[in-house]
Amino acid sequence: MTQDDPATEPEPEPEPGPGPAPSGVSRRRLFGMAGAGVALAGVGAAAGYAVAESSSGPGTGVVPFRDVHQAGIITPAQDRLHFVAMDLTTTDTGAVRDLFRRWTDAAERLTTGAEMTPNGAVGLNPNLPPTDTGEALGLPASSLTLTFGIGASLLAKLGLDGRRPPGLIDLPHFTGDQLDPGRSGGDLCIQACADDPQVAVHAIRNLVRAGFGTTEVRWSQLGFGRTSSTSTDQATARNLFGFKDGTNNLKAEEPDLIDEHVWAGPDQGWMAGGTYLVARRIRMHIEIWDRTSLDEQQQIIGRSKGEGAPLSGQAEFDVADLRARGPDGDPLIGRDAHIRLASADALNGIRILRRGYNFVDGSDGTGHLDAGLFFVAFVRDPATHFVPMQSALARHDKLMEYIEHSGSAVFACPPGLSEPGSYWGQELFT
């Protein structure tokens, strides 16, 4: 569940692995001041993302919806997630195009802290249903980002198979997969991340509502407690096994590496400058893990649980030395340790950008928590960047005894909307 980047070559592997509105500004007034959000697009964009913080405290920032790349990818990871996958209920290309336009207009408003439509919650005709559900009234923007993706099945339903980019692949079956079709796939997705869970839920709820008659929900996932940092300003978070997760994740402040491993190249056609989202719902058998000794836990991961240091080092960000051996001659970082198998050196330099979240979805009916990691990664090409990594982990990783992959999906996330008036998904129809 982590990716490490040791500097040394690994040994050959055996074959068998509600808060106040910002500065007293209401959500409706904030939208009026920001126009459609376009005026915010140039704020602090030097690192490829922008967050405009208000003076009322953390979590009130506005992340521009329009930029060269979609927000919610290299944006500093927020604390909460609401992810939804949807299916089309129509094959009318015009209806889908119209929905994408309406979603774009709504997303520009929602990400500034505005209502779905002006005065939509309480200021319109009281004899009609409100056009905004109202649960985010009075809440700040909370750094809300909305990231949209397209599934291969959408292209098939609309007769656009010829527009399918090379990277939008069907993932192979990996060893140990126990995928639930009801938690997998989808014609399209929306990822809402925010520092307030109600803001994220409000956004998805209203965008789903806007799609009635054209789309329906296939599955969704709530997440809390980010398990990856996407900026050097963020501390490494912990997963539900108690370990720091994603220590060597790609960071927004590494533009050359982001270009190399995240943004799709010119060979991806209309997806050039976009990226591919891989989602995996990973159930963690935490009760079994909790009965495992600390020493074994650390050997399985390859890091210390407290500091997060590789077992060959002393501090979290020490480079993992995969050749280091203990007094008994055995590798300090075992051959089946998670960080060895997920390391860039073990994978010919492959890196991924992770934006995962913890989840607890009640119990499974047998006295065990249905809990784990909702893994989200953004990669340049799933075939070259995700499949080799997951194949190695599935075959050899000792951690696989404590987890199972129960959901899976791949979506193409087009480039951002840098041109005024452009709408999300426009590349499909032009």
Alpha-helix runs per DSSP H in 293-335: 294-301
Rounded Cα gap, residues 200 and 327, in angstroms? 51
| Within a domain: 348 | yes
Q: Is the pLDDT of residue 381 over 80?
A: yes
| Within a domain: 417 | yes
Residue 101 DSSP SS3: helix
| Within a domain: 249 | yes
Q: Is the pLDDT of residue 57 over 70?
A: no
* Number of domains, the chain: 1
pLDDT in the model for residue 384: 96
Rounded Cα gap, residues 191 and 421, in angstroms? 22
Strands, E assignment, 51-157: 80-88, 145-150
Which value, in Å, is the radius of gyration of the alpha carbons in the chain? Answer: 22
| Within a domain: 125 | yes
Q: Is the pLDDT of residue 368 over 70?
A: yes
Strands, E assignment, 57-163: 80-88, 145-150
pLDDT in the model for residue 8: 44
Q: Which two tokens stand for residue 44?
A: 């602090």
Q: Tell me how far CA of residue 293 lies from CA of 289, 297, 333, in angstroms.
A: 8, 6, 17
Q: Which residues contact 344 (CB under 8 A, 6 or more apart)?
A: 3, 4, 5, 6, 248, 350, 351
Q: What is the mean pLDDT of the chain?
A: 88
Q: Which residues contact 383 (CB under 8 A, 6 or more apart)?
A: 167, 169
- Do 393 and 337 form a contact (C-beta atoms < 8 A)? no
Rounded Cα gap, residues 168 and 275, in angstroms? 10
Q: Tell me how far CA of residue 172 lies from CA of 284, 316, 382, in angstroms.
A: 22, 34, 11
pLDDT in the model for residue 4: 53
pLDDT in the model for residue 60: 64
pLDDT in the model for residue 362: 95
Please give the average per-residue pLDDT across 262-273, as a whole number: 94
Evaluated on CA atoms 309, 313, 317, 321, the torsion sign reads: negative
Rounded Cα gap, residues 42 and 154, in angstroms? 33
Domain that holds residue 123: 22-429
Q: Is the pLDDT of residue 148 over 50?
A: yes
Kindly give the pairing relationship between strand 353-354 and strand 403-413.
unpaired
| Within a domain: 16 | no
Please give the average per-residue pLDDT across 127-143, as a whole number: 97
Apex CA 201: angle with CA 195 and CA 204, to 5°? 120
Give the CA dihedral 198, 215, 276, 230, nearest 10 degrees.
0
| Within a domain: 113 | yes
Condensed to tens digits (0 to 9), the pLDDT of residues 308-336 reads: 999 999 999 999 999 999 999 999 999 99
| Within a domain: 10 | no
| Within a domain: 1 | no
